[in-house]
Amino acid sequence: MPRLIAVDWGTTSLRGALLDEAGEVLEEKSAPLGILSVPNGDFAGVFAEQFSDWMKPGGAPCLISGMAGSRQGWVEAPYVACPAGPAELARHLHWIERGRIAIVPGLSDAQGDVPDVMRGEEVQIFGAMRLAGLSDGLFVLPGTHSKWATVRGGRVTGFRTFMTGEAYGLFAQHSILARTLDAAAPLDAEAFLHGVTRAGSGEGLLHDAFGVRTLGLFGRLSPAQSASYLSGLLVGEELRQQKLPERGEVIVIGAAALVERYALALGAKGAKVRTFGANATWAGLRSLQ
């Protein structure tokens, strides 16, 4: 394979990697220039500013995944319907410059009258599959909008999105709970797992969330512990909706801090966990060549 310029252009950040013929990272770049921070919508200008030294005439092609392909991004790349694998995505690349720069489409999943979508996570899933040597499994991508995807025969057959990270931000910053917790505190594993267990009791998230305040009022949780407990409640509620495999692994892909929490929660449920970080994105984009 030739070299590849792999770019992950999300809502809040822009990352890129120059990959050699074997898929190894030669160089990486990052900038706080997500799609919502592009001056005057000049995506072409920001791209050139960041990657012109890599985009030499006759050089490596560039594949861009993430929200750059959304309606608010550089150009909208239509979703590919599940089931879909790398081959389907590769056939539907949206070329900005034919043979040089392409946007990777996201995936959609029909769920009755309420569809679900993802952009960027599909590339991470295919990358983790490649790195782990898997063609089947359950993949979890924690974040602002967490994804749970089922893969069969190397293709994503379906997925579900949970607004876990966004709900945490709303509770921790804009509700009465903001006065009782320290959102900047490091993870307290014991308090976090206490929240995960509580979520599994079936009392309901809206009731359990108010308990963050009352446990603080009665001195049973400190502000630092309350933040981890609330996180555990939300992640636990997410896990409560899942059917975890009795055998095999759950693959968790994402930023280290979030991956740590999900690995703790899944481990408490008896699941085996394997984790991947940014390397999954680069491997996933390589799989589309």
Q: How far apart are CA 102 and CA 49, in angstroms?
A: 17
Q: How far apart are CA 91 and CA 87, in angstroms?
A: 6
User: Residue 112 has what pLDDT?
Assistant: 86
* Six token digits for residue 156: 């994503």
Whole-number mean pLDDT of the chain?
96
User: Residue 255 has what pLDDT?
Assistant: 94
Q: Which residues, including other chains, have CB under 8 Å from residue 133's CB and lie 6 or more apart?
A: none
* Six token digits for residue 90: 């590769």
Residues 103, 145: one domain?
A: no
- Residue ending a domain, among 119, 154, 181, is 119
**Does residue 288 fall inside a structural domain?**
no
The pTM (predicted TM-score) of the whole model is 0.94
Residues 61, 179: one domain?
A: no
User: Residue 56 has what pLDDT?
Assistant: 83
Residues 107, 143: one domain?
A: no
Residues 40, 112: one domain?
A: yes
Residues 163, 228: one domain?
A: yes
Residues 172, 39: one domain?
A: no
Q: For residue range 125-144, list pLDDT tens digits in order.
A: 999 999 999 999 999 999 99
User: Residue 247 has what pLDDT?
Assistant: 81
Q: What is the 3-state secondary structure (H, E, C) of 123-171?
A: HHHHHHHHHHCCCCEEEEECCCCEEEEEEECCEEEEEEEECHHHHHHHH
**Does residue 22 fall inside a structural domain?**
yes
Residues 61, 141: one domain?
A: no
**Does residue 247 fall inside a structural domain?**
yes
Q: For residue range 182-215, list pLDDT tens digits in order.
A: 999 999 999 999 999 999 998 999 999 999 999 9
**Does residue 125 fall inside a structural domain?**
no
- Residue ending a domain, among 55, 90, 119, is 119
Residues 113, 147: one domain?
A: no
User: Residue 150 has what pLDDT?
Assistant: 97
Give the domain range for residue 226.
135-283
Count structural domains, the chain: 2
**Does residue 127 fall inside a structural domain?**
no
**Which stretches of the chain drop beneath a pLDDT of 50?**
none
Q: How far apart are CA 145 and CA 160, in angstroms?
A: 10
